[in-house]
Amino acid sequence: MDWLFEHNNAEIFIEMISNIKGKDALTKPPIRHFVSMMWSRYQPRIVAYVFFPYLIYLALICVLSGSVVDTFMKTREQLLFMKEFDNLKLAKDPLYDYKTDLHYKALVKIHQDNRAFFLVESIFLLVLIVYFGIMELKQYREAGVAYFFDAWNLIDATSLCLNFSFGSMFFICVLYDEIYFPRELILSIASWAMLFMWLKVFYWFRLYSSYAYYVRLII
């Protein structure tokens, strides 16, 4: 294997094995030996470029689905209800105008203050979805239809679709002053999205040698 460490042979070799279609070649003993030798260099880069962004992605979805969507959509529902209440002239006072109601004014202020922040959060989420979506698309291009034969690829694809549905629905609701998607629908999708995201965290433990054995044992 000495030739591998002369000049930029290792770089060429890595590029070659990364372009091999089908991952069977990676199970060959010399290549496995090489990868295990270089693992101390690969691991920090995988952590920095994939695992760390994934943790941010997970945290963002946790925050959005855990409290933000619920709070934001409930306030929106309340505001629309007050508007509708006035339009239908259901108030006892015939001169009642929802726009002068102090409670309405306070709600609008809270709603508008939060809106810009939530808009940034949902855009950031969509950016992360695109980042991980590109990775999945690359894998699909390399593997072709075989991509769908691996259970973890299916989980990845399902998770991405759920996250995109959740993120885009919330983004549209924040952007426009209407409820295009009911809160219950967004949160139902979010709950499944969260489950898949956490299950993927379980798979991420393969990165660490002390856990990899147990993860492989279970899966």
Tokens, residue 77? 């529902």
Contact between 66 and another protein by CB under 8 A: the answer reads yes
Contact between 214 and another protein by CB under 8 A: the answer reads yes
From 46, 205, 209, 219, residue interacting with another protein (rule: CB under 8 A) = 205
Site stretch for another protein (CB under 8 A), options 92-100, 115-123, 144-152, 189-197: 189-197
Where helices occur in 47-150 by DSSP H, the ranges are: 52-63, 69-87, 102-143
CB of 211 to another protein, least distance (A): 7
From 188, 209, 212, 219, residue interacting with another protein (rule: CB under 8 A) = 188
Closest by CA to 174, choosing from 89, 30, 73, is 73
Count of CA atoms in the C-beta half-sphere (13 A) of 96: 18
Q: Closer to another protein at the Cβ: 58 or 91?
A: 58
CB of 210 to another protein, least distance (A): 10
Sign, CA dihedral 204-208-209-214, equals negative
Furthest C-alpha separation in the chain = 91
Direct distance between the N- and C-terminal alpha carbons of the chain, in angstroms, rounded to an integer: 33
Contact between 201 and another protein by CB under 8 A: the answer reads yes
Q: At which residue do the structure tokens 């969260």 appear?
A: 194
CB of 146 to another protein, least distance (A): 27
Contact 37, 102 (CB under 8 A): no
From 56, 202, 212, 213, residue interacting with another protein (rule: CB under 8 A) = 202
Contact between 163 and another protein by CB under 8 A: the answer reads no
From 43, 70, 123, 172, residue interacting with another protein (rule: CB under 8 A) = 70
Q: Closer to another protein at the Cβ: 77 or 178?
A: 77
Contact 121, 167 (CB under 8 A): no
Contact 132, 162 (CB under 8 A): no
**Binding residues vs another protein (CB under 8 A):** 62, 65-66, 70, 183-184, 187-188, 190-192, 194-195, 198-199, 201-202, 205, 211, 214-215
